[in-house]
Amino acid sequence: MYHLSMKKILKISFILLIIFSFANHMFQDSVAAQGEGFSQYKPFYEESKNNFLVSIFISPLRPVAGQQIFSIKVTDKLTNNPVENLKIDVYATPLFDEKKQFSPALSSSVMPGNYQAILRLEKHGFWVMDFEISGDDLEFTISEQLEVLERNRTLGNSDFSYAFLLIQALFFGGIIYILISARKRRNRINN
C-alpha cells in the first residue's frame, strides 16, 4: 500500500513540476537583444538632458562578472519620437583602475532609436560607466556607477547552490527508489 501511495505522490509531483516550469517559461518578461536571442532587461539609469530623455537598460538583471548588454534609448521630449543616427560610445572603468574598456553602441534595425552595447566586465566590484552620446544637434556624456557581482561558482554563496544539490539528491534518490522497488518486485515474483 505504501508503494502505491508513493507512486501517486511522485506522479503528482512530476506533473506539478512540468506545469510550473512551463508556466514560468511562458510568462517571463523578455526583450529581444540584438544578436543575443532573448534577454531580460532592467532599468539602469534614466536622465533628461536638454530636450531629450535618455533611458539605459542592462541585462542580465543581476550584473555578474562576464558579459553585460546595455540598451540605450534616446527620445525627443517634444515629439516623443526616438532619436536615430546617433553615435553612442560606452566606456567602462573599474573603480581605482585605469584599464578602460570601450564598446560602440550599435543601432537596432528591429527597434528604431535603440542602441545596444556589449561589454565583458570580468572583474567583480564597482565600475564607472560613461555613455558618450553625440548627434546632429546634441552632445553630452552620462556617467553612472555599476556594481558587478562575483560569479556564483562556490558552494554556499547563495540559495541556488543548495537548490541544485537538493535537485541532485532527489534525482539520485528517485533512481535508488526505483532500483530497490524493482528488486523487491522481482523477489516477490520469483517466490
Domains of the chain: 34-148 (2.60.40.3340)
Q: What is the pLDDT of residues 155-169, one digit of tens each?
A: 445 555 677 788 889
Query: Does 111 or 29 have the greater pLDDT score?
Result: 111
Query: Residue 46 corresponds to which amino acid?
Result: E
> C-alpha 73: how far from its chain's center?
19
Cell (9 digits) for 77: 521630449
Nearest 5°: phi and psi at 50? Answer: 55, -120
Q: What is the pLDDT of residues 72-116, one digit of tens each?
A: 998 988 898 888 888 999 999 988 777 888 888 888 777 888 899
Cell (9 digits) for 23: 508556466
pLDDT recorded at residue 34 = 44
pLDDT recorded at residue 33 = 45
pTM recorded for the entire structure? 0.60
Interacting residues of 184 by C-beta distance below 8 A, sequence separation 6+:
none
pLDDT recorded at residue 159 = 52
| Reported confidence tier of residue 129, pLDDT bands at 50, 70, 90 | very high
The closest alpha carbon to 65, from 115, 126, 131, 116, belongs to: 126
pLDDT recorded at residue 180 = 93
